[in-house]
Amino acid sequence: MKHGPSGTFEVSVNGKTVVKRRTFTFPSEQEIVEAVSRELAS
């Protein structure tokens, strides 16, 4: 993970964004783990 401008939150795998913050909410830990797992499996 890297810090982004203006409070952005994105998780990338191999340069591809797999999950990011929605308006006013952050993804849950489960959503992050599932998104990363899906990308690694593909």
Token pair in block for residue 9: 């939150």
pLDDT of residue 3: 62
Which helix (H) or strand (E) is 13 found in, with range?
Answer: strand 10-13
Phi, psi of 19 (to 5 degrees): -160, 145
pLDDT of residue 1: 58
pLDDT of residue 26: 85
pTM for this entry = 0.72
d(CA 33, CA 15): 17
Question: What does each of the 42 residues of the chain score in pLDDT, given as a tens digit?
Answer: 566 666 778 899 999 999 988 777 888 999 999 999 999 998
Residue spans of the domains in the chain: they are: 5-41
